Amino acid sequence: MRLVRLLAPILAIASAAPMLRALDSVRPSTLFPAPGSTGACIDTHLRLDFPSPVTLGRAGLVSVIDVASGRVVDSIDVSKRTDTRTIGGAGGFQVYPIITDGDEADVALHPGRLEYGHTYAVTVDAGAFECDGRPSAAIEGDRTWLFTLKPSGPQPGAARLVVAADGGGDFCTVQGALDFVPHANNRPVTILVRPGTYREIVFLAEKNDITLRGESRTGTVIEYANNARFNPSGGNPFEGASPDPSAEHVHGGHIYRRGVLLAHRTRNLVIENLTMRNLTPYGGSQAETIILNGATDARSILRDLDLFSYQDTLQMNGQAYVANCHLEGDVDFIWGTGPCYFESCTFRSLHSGRYFTQIRNPSTNHGYVFHRCVFDGAPGVANNYLSRIEADRFPYSEVVLLDCRLGPAVGARAWLVSNAHHEPVGPQPNLHFWEYNSRTLDGAPLDTSGRDRFSRRLHEPADAALIRDYTDPAYVLGGWNPLAAAR
């Protein structure tokens, strides 16, 4: 009897431990799709908002169950921080299936697991998430978190699709809308992306005549931490001295997978009025926001965009026109093969002694031309180069600045040629590092006396014909006039 009396408090504490742990656990304050809701998108993410900053737990499953059949149609293991998925028809993408940001956990389900008109239950194991060291409570049963999908999707051939992160559109993700557009599409399709943060890698290939338009330049944000370390590939065939963007099909092994958005073998693509951020931290390797792999007749247009990264922010291989965009980066953050024409854009370097561009055009097309653009940097940034090229690897490089303003972030030398068999001492026929009417930020004439002799300053009237040609986008872009493209 005495032993029982001694053990009783211990047994009471032990039996109460699960209850104490349950009382100490934390529950999400809101769930998306909302419990009991109808009309969810077929590509919906699951979102859990907690009362304080949330992180992933050590173990646990987030499961989705088809209520009618009782079958588990998808399951995400929180202990596996990354997953390999197919995006836009291309396999081998590494992704983060669950991303936590502040108080929110965003769960990206596997594509193609949900069906229109079906009702699903979501369960979450206890401890799958943590807040302030406290484990999350379990979400259990087939009636706690239920939602029903829309009865059907958009009509085939729809000319307008709406993406809304809050579930109020045809799709919840940009990729979902792009996947709806048929392969080899040649009918104009506009995808309107409503304000929200879209945490996804976007990939489209061999689909034409698509306009991807944000409803708010600053409020519509597509972002991801994707880079060459996270998604290495066998190399891009379009970065060489003689690129052929039309040669590599989507299932080839030599296509980059490291950007936030990659458009491969597309024509008449327009991306406008939104923000893209590659969240790869400084020093995290090559990390584009946009990669365009098109042909010299791709007719791509980028306008009214804000693009943020560090290394390789924008890569364009093929014909493109870029207008009224803001780009930030620090190493070769504008690069590719061209031909490309930039109008009224701003480029901001984030560190000193770096490079705005590296242009690797072949002899068969123009490189990159910048008209009425601004090259500057963050406070205190200095001694940056407008462009650099490794002449032994890429014998042709054309970078032309016309009526541009250059801030103190641009060094006096401005241009760099490296790895040449012989250091260039004068103008080079294969190298067009040219400027016309470069000015300071306040519009005063810029002192260019520190430039190397392999670069060239254009002057009127001697170079009037050359200046006139390069001021015309159609001349640079092989006869295509992007100004005639309808908005």
> Could you tell me if 387 and 394 are in contact, meaning their C-beta atoms sit under 8 angstroms apart?
no
List the one residue out of 377, 381, 392, 402 whose CA is nearest residue 456.
402
Residue 11 lies in a domain: no
Q: What is the CATH number of the domain that holds 49?
A: 2.60.40.1220
| CATH code: domain of residue 401 | 2.160.20.10
* Domain assignment present for 43: yes
Q: Percentage of the chain with pLDDT > 70?
A: 90
- Asked if the structure places residue 359 within a domain, the reply is yes
Tell whether 97 and 168 lie within a shared domain: no
Average pLDDT, the chain: 92
Q: Which two three-digit tokens encode residue 285?
A: 């390797």
Residue 385 lies in a domain: yes
- Tell me the pLDDT band of 296, cut-offs 50, 70 and 90: confident
Phi (first) and psi of residue 420, to 5 degrees: -85, 150
Confidence class for position 485, pLDDT limits 50, 70, 90? confident
Least confident among 41-55, 410-424, 428-442: 410-424
Are 318 and 364 in the same domain? yes
Assess whether 204 and 64 both reside in one domain.
no
Same domain, 211 and 289: yes
Residue 244, pLDDT > 90, answer: no
Q: pLDDT band at residue 1, thresholds of 50, 70 and 90?
A: very low
**315 and 193, same structural domain?**
yes
How far is it, in rounded angstroms, from Cα 316 to Cα 389?
A: 16
pLDDT higher than 90, residue 428: no
Same-domain status, 166 and 117: no
Where does a domain end: 127, 149, 171? 149
- Asked if pLDDT for residue 20 goes beyond 60, the answer is no
Residue 164 domain flag: yes
pLDDT at 370 over 80: yes
Reply yes or no on whether the pLDDT at 14 is more than 90. no
**Is the predicted pLDDT of residue 137 greater than 70, yes or no?**
yes
Q: Tell me which of 149, 177, 205 is where a domain ends.
A: 149
One domain for residues 259 and 350: yes
User: Model's pTM, two decimal places?
Assistant: 0.93
Tell me: the pLDDT tens digits for 380-415? 999 999 999 998 889 999 999 999 999 999 999 999
**Which of 60-69, 418-427, 447-456 is least confident?**
418-427
Whether residues 137 and 253 share a domain: the answer is: no
Are 266 and 294 contacting, i.e. CB atoms less than 8 angstroms apart?
A: yes
Over range 23-44, report the average pLDDT: 95
Domain closes at, from 128, 149, 170: 149
The verdict on 395 and 427 lying in the same domain is yes
Does residue 398 sit within a domain? yes
Rounded distance, CA 376 to CA 464, Å? 27
Domain of residue 474 covers: 160-484
- Rounded to an integer, the average pLDDT of 272-298 is 95
Q: Which two tokens stand for residue 359?
A: 């242009």
Q: Give the pLDDT band (50/70/90) at residue 253.
A: low
Q: Is residue 106 part of a domain?
A: yes
Q: Indicate if 244 and 289 belong to the same structural domain.
A: yes
Is 17 a member of any domain? Answer: no
With beta carbons less than 8 A apart as the criterion, state whether 343 and 352 touch. no
Q: Render 323-352 in DSSP notation, one character per residue.
A: ES-EEEESEEEEEEEEEEEEES-EEEE-ST
Model confidence over 122-132: pLDDT tens digits?
999 999 999 99
Asked whether residue 55 carries a pLDDT value surpassing 60, the answer given is: yes
Number of domains in the chain: 2
pLDDT at 238 over 70: no
Identify whether residues 176 and 112 lie together within a single domain: no
DSSP 136: B
- What distance in Å separates the CA atoms of residue 475 and residue 436, rounded to the nearest whole number? 17
pLDDT value at residue 247: 66
Considering the domain architecture, whether residues 181 and 51 belong to the same structural domain is answered as: no
Q: Which of 42-51, 272-281, 410-419 has the lowest mean pLDDT?
A: 410-419
